[in-house]
Chain A
Amino acid sequence: DSGVTQTPKHLITATGQRVTLRCSPRSGDLSVYWYQQSLDQGLQFLIQYYNGEERAKGNILERFSAQQFPDLHSELNLSSLELGDSALYFCASSPPGGGGASYNEQFFGPGTRLTVL
C-alpha cells in the first residue's frame, strides 16, 4: 500500500459523458501527478500539481482538466468521453523538495480503470 488513494476503482460510462476521478496523496506529499495508461502502453504523463498550483503539463487533451484542492486531494475531470479514453488512470504523489533517491520516488495509487462504451 503506497498511501495514495484513488476512487473509484472502476468506472464504466458511455461516449459523450463526463467523469471525475479522485486522488488523495500520501500524508505530507505536496505534489500530485496524473498518468494515463492505455492497454499494453506505457504511462503517459498528463499533468502535475504542487500545493494547489499547476506545475507541469504533458499530453493532456483539452477535454481533460484537473485541480488540486486546499486539502491537497486532486480531481481529474474527463469530458466528452470517447472510446479511446478507455484506460487506467493513475495518480502519484511525491514528497516535497529535497535530494537523493527518496525525493525522486513517486508513489502510485491503485488506479482507476475507465471503460467508455
Chain B
Amino acid sequence: GQSLEQPSEVTAVEGAIVQINCTYQTSGFYGLSWYQQHDGGAPTFLSYNALDGLEETGRFSSFLSRSDSYGYLLLQELQMKDSASYFCAVKDTDKLIFGTGTRLQVFP
C-alpha cells in the first residue's frame, strides 16, 4: 500500500523554527513535495525535492533522504500567517499521494 505519515499537529511561537517530518511508503517515487493550506483555502505549492539533500526557498527549506524514505519541511522565523496545514506529497508518475497533513499553530 501507499502511506505518508506526518505529525497531526505542531505548535510554536512567532520567530521560532519548526520542523515537520514526513515518512513515506509508496510503490513509486518521483519526488517529495510540500503544500500549504490555510483553513478554507486551496493547497499551494511550497517546495519539491527529487534528490537527496536540502532545498531552500526563503524562510522555508525542505529536505529529502530517499534511502530513509523520509523528508522534512523546515520553517524559520515563524510568522502568524504561517498558521496553516502542511501536507507532504509523493509524486508517483504524474499523480500526487498526499499525507494526512500537519496543522501548525503559531502563537504570539
Contact = CB atoms under 8 A, between A and B. Distances in A.
Given A2-B44, A43-B43, A48 B87 contact: no
A94 B98 CA distance: 16
B100 interface: yes
A56 B45 contact: no
B68 interface: no
A56 B95 contact: yes
Interface string B57-95: 000000000000000000000000000000101010111
A25 interface: no
A42 interface: yes
A62 B37 CA distance: 29
Nearest to A101: B48
Nearest to A31: B94
Interface of A: 2, 31, 33, 35, 41-45, 48, 50, 55-56, 58, 90, 92, 94, 101, 104-111
Contacts of B99: 42
Instruction: Give the top 7 A-B pairs by smallest Cβ distance, nearest first.
Output: A108-B42, A42-B100, A105-B45, A43-B98, A101-B48, A104-B48, A42-B98
B96 A106 contact: yes
A109 B95 CA distance: 16
A107 B95 contact: no
Nearest to B33: A104
A105 B98 contact: no
Contact of B47 (A43, A94, A101): A101
A90 B42 contact: yes
A24 to B, nearest CB: 14
